Chain A
Amino acid sequence: MRVAILGATQGMGRAIARLLVERGDQVFVLGIEPEELARTSADLQARSPSHMPVGAALCDLADQSTFASALDAAEADLGDVECVVVTAAIFATQDKLEEDLERTELLLRLNFTNTVVFCEHVRRRLIERGGGTLCVFSSVAGDRGRKPVILYGAAKAGLSQYLEGVDHKHHEDGLRVITVKPGFVKTGMTAGLKPPPFAGEPVAVARSVVRAIDRGTPVVYAPGIWRLIMLVICALPRFVMRKVGF
């Protein structure tokens, strides 16, 4: 498989890129910083059984003008892009966002507007080549409005909704849309937060994501236990949600 990954330099994107490269898939990495891209490419090359060089291009989720050229670079390097994975996003705690409107605007723009615009670029390209896989990281935070993740969750809820609609419309065109909903995963993004019970490790999440890409599973909770946790949380009545802290 030939896969472009936006966010492969860090966290879960890194873990997914490694799994793919180790089993012989061809990967192209997209990210913000040249130095980080170079280090990630080197890492992936060392992990590739055939020691195959891994290409990279700059793509900044904050700057829509980089999207088309980055995808062009991926197509040029891989020959053909069959799958695009988007793990890039930003995070801030609800407390931080509530006292900082600028940051709130940025988070909403990156995690919703720009992610959707990036996906639209990908959607057109994949449909044009007769189909493919678009795998995007949303979050369990988008499943219900909750006190600790009101703004982050709102952006992710919008993103999940968008991805579901695209799946409904374009499944027949051969487009496989995979919405990943991670629970708490111990990565650099969540560093400094106290891990709750059932916190996941990036490698385990990456495994279930790659399985979903292989099978075309439309929605993946990772770790899987979060499907149950969210089922319960979504069933709680409003007066309970007003009382509890999660």
Chain B
Amino acid sequence: MAGLGDQGQTIAGWGNIGVPGHEVLSERLERASADAVLSRGLGRSYGDSALPPPGSREVLGTRLADRILSFDPASGRLRAEAGLSLHELNRLLLRRGYFTPVTPGTQFVTLGGMVAADVHGKNHHVAGCFGSDHTRMVRLRVADGRILEVTRESHPDLFYATCGGMGLTGHILEVEIDLKRIPSPWIYGESRRIADIDEFLVALREYERFPYVVGWIDCLSRGRKMGRGILDGGRWATASEAGGKPLPSRPSPSVPVMFPNWVLNDLTAKAFNTLYYWKHFAKENRGLRHPDSFFYPLDAIRHWNRIYGRSGFTQYQCVIPEASGRDGVVRFLEALTAMGGASFLCVIKSCGPESKGTLSFPRRGTTIALDIPARSGTQALVDALNRVLLAEGGRIYLAKDTFTRAEDFRRMDPRIEQFEAVRDRWDPERKLRSAQSVRLFGDPA
């Protein structure tokens, strides 16, 4: 590679907590991946999963490798280079009646990244994860230099370790997936204002009649109001509901500069949450929704991560298993609200059954995700949340994590043994590493 050194650059995940290093972009992944330590897509993982290990300082950026290699309009089968973004895919194909079977909450992700994080979306309860449940094939450069077409059948161990394996099993060069036919480009949505956590958990169940469901909770409210929020459900509108209405493209203003750190404090977060709650004044709303505002509300403001200021932030996302029931969720929320930690956004959703991805995050239960500004107490806060989570038998999502300790992760996710066994077979020397794998899996720096 270029080997020009860092030139003082730092590289960060979406949470803006940087390390020394840089990305080298390439349109030719086959060539560029030969000696790269890690591939990185659009850098939307919050923590350190797409950052180079301390000893390497260079990652391969895939976002210029974004060609569609084949698309069959009849079946929806698509094969593309790993750097193709979901945003581009939606721009090209949504209006033509095709949509990804699973979408995360942002469209600024690459297909390779979606497989590596085995992303889930609002339809997890019915559709599972992008990688392990829907991807047909990944073209993978493994550590010994070979390039393999990996499917469930050809290399089951490698395929399932790659789905959710955070890029540690090999460089994802190409992805093949079947897109879904959709009856119209519009969403028919219903949303409901929810008064507290008990109402929330019941309503989440009730809304499972929708293929797409997510809830937002005001996690700064305590006591009787704890767990109040807005629940959102939807499905693709039928052609007659949409009435042939053309889908407009939406402008996306940008946060132009880093906000000073003080902008986000308990007071502004509280005000934001209260406003957001009462903006949904009617108890229930229903009607046609633009898919961008339904699936990707935060994409409407580019660089929204800058509101957290230079010191950055982390997202804490965990799943509390079904066995813990309502009380488990309440115990977690009580612990969270008692500790404070301003968050603009806290998201809740029910997950369906666990996928076969070796380290795939979701499992049956309730997942909660919240943003935490990085301050001096953040490590202690994450440690404390992890203690509560461990007691419930839950686990965290690697694509979001920056602060979890290796020993805590091992206790949460014993599947790590299986994952490391696959890596022992395919990459015994740990050529593929990330800052996260050094921190959590004990890889050599």
Contacts and interface: CB of A to CB of B under 8 A. Distances in A.
Given A39-B81, A42-B70, A194-B7, 19 more contacts: A11-B27, A14-B27, A39-B69, A40-B67, A42-B68, A46-B70, A46-B71, A49-B96, A186-B25, A187-B25, A187-B27, A188-B26, A188-B27, A188-B28, A188-B64, A191-B24, A192-B1, A194-B4, A202-B64
B9 interface: yes
B92 A192 contact: no
Interface residues of A, number: 21
B267 interface: no
Contact of A43 (B1, B22, B26, B67): B67
Interface string B49-93: 000000000000000100111110100001001000000000010
Contact of B24 (A43, A46, A47, A192): A192
6 contacts: A40-B67, A43-B69, A47-B68, A187-B64, A192-B1, A194-B9
Q: Main SS of chain A's interface residues?
A: helix
Interface string A36-74: 000110110111010100000000000000000000000
Interface in B1-39: 1-4, 7, 9, 22, 24-28
Interface of B: 1-4, 7, 9, 22, 24-28, 64, 67-71, 73, 78, 81, 92, 96
A103 to B, nearest CB: 16
A111 interface: no
Interface of A: 10-11, 14, 22, 39-40, 42-43, 45-47, 49, 51, 186-188, 191-194, 202
Contacts, number: 52
Q: Main SS of chain B's interface residues?
A: loop
Contacts of A43: 67-69
Contacts of A42: 67-70
A42 to B, nearest CB: 5
A14 B7 CA distance: 29
A34 to B, nearest CB: 15
B68 to A, nearest CB: 4
B68 A191 contact: no
Nearest to A192: B2
A5 to B, nearest CB: 15
Contact of A191 (B26, B67, B71, B96): B26
